[in-house]
């Protein structure tokens, strides 16, 4: 419908005309933002979906473990995501440590959050004497929904827009160029990421979990997620404008920081998938009636 409107108008839609706002609502001093709601909803969905997966035979932990795991994962997302952003995208914040605590100043890094979750899972597994890699295989299946919601929130915030483009669905985001210059129409790269990293990756992970025996090969699902996300993010970065403070880095290296960070993810994903069979052991079911060899 929007595309037909644009074709009829012979121009591009302006972001302001969509009527979107970063805040869901405000009551007194409290403001709920779409970005925060995306995190909360993603974590709650992941908690629920994880429980559904744990009901299947051969689960690496019980449903009772899931509550404790959610705490570790949430802590890893927040701490890892923020610290990762500072390290990868804004190291100057180390000169002003209090800025690091202002989560709304700058943002979060998915790659940092992924590392944080990985550390959290390892600590959780050691505490309960469980297989951290098999737990991670289950947890990554829930991640695409959070990525989908997060990218939609980026779009609502009018941030992380794409490169200038004249495609029919390009959007004119405000304040993307120095004051006084007309804002060009740009790729809505946030929606590209929501589709690839969110919807497509969730479909792939769901099929692998529910329709194959991948969950019995430790590391295969984790590898599939790393590979799928890495490829999706690497592709979309070609349509995305690099962060302002990293433009020189992108021009010098030929790739965005996000693409460089995806390279070890892709390589690690391939390794985990190719070596998964060697780690396969007899799995005694925590949930379900049968053992799977």
Extended beta strands in 28-136, E state = 30-33
Buried b (16+ CB within 10 A) or exposed e, 137-151: bbbbbbbbbbbbbbb
Cβ contacts of residue 92 below 8 Å, gap of 6+? 245
Instruction: Supply the pLDDT for residue 290.
Output: 45
User: Residue 243 falls within a domain, yes or no?
Assistant: yes
Of the candidates 184, 178, 191, the one whose C-alpha atom is nearest the C-alpha of residue 166 is 184
| DSSP tag of 19 | T
User: Residue 196 falls within a domain, yes or no?
Assistant: yes
Domain extent, residue 167, equals 143-278
Give the span between the Cα atoms of 113 and 239, in whole angstroms.
23
Domain total of the chain? 1
User: Residue 74 falls within a domain, yes or no?
Assistant: no
| Angle, CA of 33, 105 and 201, to the nearest 5° | 60
In this predicted structure, the answer to whether residue 281 has a pLDDT above a threshold of 90 is no
| DSSP tag of 125 | H
Question: Mapping DSSP to helix (H, G, I), strand (E, B) and coil, where does residue 256 land?
Answer: coil
User: Residue 122 falls within a domain, yes or no?
Assistant: no
Instruction: Supply the pLDDT for residue 100.
Output: 84
Length of the chain in terms of residues written: 293
Give the span between the Cα atoms of 242 and 252, in whole angstroms.
12
User: Residue 192 falls within a domain, yes or no?
Assistant: yes
Comparing 82-96, 158-172, 186-200, the range with the smallest average pLDDT is 82-96
Percent of the chain surpassing pLDDT 70:
91
User: Residue 223 falls within a domain, yes or no?
Assistant: yes
Q: What is the dihedral of CA 228, 231, 233, 235, to 10 degrees?
A: -140
Cβ contacts of residue 121 below 8 Å, gap of 6+? 69, 72, 73, 76, 132, 135, 136, 139
Cite the annotated binding site by residue number: 151
Angle (deg, nearest 10), helices 34-54 and 143-157: 170
Instruction: Supply the pLDDT for residue 279.
Output: 87
Segment 78-99, tens digit of pLDDT: 999 999 989 998 888 888 888 8
Give the span between the Cα atoms of 162 and 177, in whole angstroms.
13
User: Residue 8 falls within a domain, yes or no?
Assistant: no
Segment 244-277, tens digit of pLDDT: 888 899 999 999 999 999 999 999 999 999 999 9
User: Residue 20 falls within a domain, yes or no?
Assistant: no
Give the span between the Cα atoms of 238 and 259, in whole angstroms.
9
Per-residue confidence at 150, pLDDT binned at 50, 70, 90? very high
Question: Mapping DSSP to helix (H, G, I), strand (E, B) and coil, where does residue 110 land?
Answer: helix
- The pTM of the full predicted model, rounded to 2 decimals, is 0.88
Give the span between the Cα atoms of 65 and 40, in whole angstroms.
20
Instruction: Supply the pLDDT for residue 282.
Output: 66
Per-residue confidence at 124, pLDDT binned at 50, 70, 90? very high
Phi-psi region of 61 (alpha: psi -120 to 50; beta: other; left: phi over 0): beta
Instruction: Supply the pLDDT for residue 284.
Output: 57
Give the span between the Cα atoms of 111 and 118, in whole angstroms.
11
Selection from 43-52, 58-67, 174-183 with the highest mean pLDDT: 43-52
Cβ contacts of residue 130 below 8 Å, gap of 6+? 60, 61, 65, 124
């Amino acid at each position: 419908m929007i595309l037909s409107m644009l074709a009829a108008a012979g121009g591009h839609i302006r972001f302001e005309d969509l009527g979107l706002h970063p805040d869901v609502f405000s009551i007194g001093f409290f403001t709920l933002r779409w970005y925060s709601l995306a995190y909360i909803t993603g974590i709650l969905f992941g908690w629920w979906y994880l429980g559904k997966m744990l009901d299947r035979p051969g689960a690496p932990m019980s449903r009772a473990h899931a509550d404790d795991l959610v705490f570790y994962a949430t802590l890893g997302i927040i701490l890892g995501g923020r610290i990762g952003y500072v390290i990868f995208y804004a190291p100057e914040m180390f000169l002003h440590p209090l800025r690091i605590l202002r989560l709304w100043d700058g943002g979060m890094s998915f790659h940092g959050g992924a590392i944080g979750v990985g550390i959290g899972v390892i600590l959780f597994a050691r505490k309960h004497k469980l297989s951290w890699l098999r737990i991670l295989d289950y947890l990554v299946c829930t991640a695409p929904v959070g990525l989908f919601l997060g990218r939609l929130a980026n779009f609502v915030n009018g941030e992380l827009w794409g490169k200038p483009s004249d495609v029919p669905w390009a959007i004119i985001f405000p304040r993307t160029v120095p004051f006084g210059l007309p804002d060009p129409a740009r790729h809505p790269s946030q929606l590209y990421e929501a589709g690839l990293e969110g919807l497509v990756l969730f479909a792939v992970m769901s099929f692998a979990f529910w329709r194959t025996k991948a969950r019995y090969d430790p590391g295969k699902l984790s590898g599939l997620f790393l590979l799928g996300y890495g490829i999706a993010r690497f592709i979309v970065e070609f349509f995305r404008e690099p962060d302002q403070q990293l433009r020189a880095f992108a021009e010098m290296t030929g790739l965005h920081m996000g693409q460089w960070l995806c390279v070890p993810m892709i390589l690690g994903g391939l390794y985990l998938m190719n070596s998964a069979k060697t780690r396969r052991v007899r799995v005694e079911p925590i949930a379900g009636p049968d053992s799977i060899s």
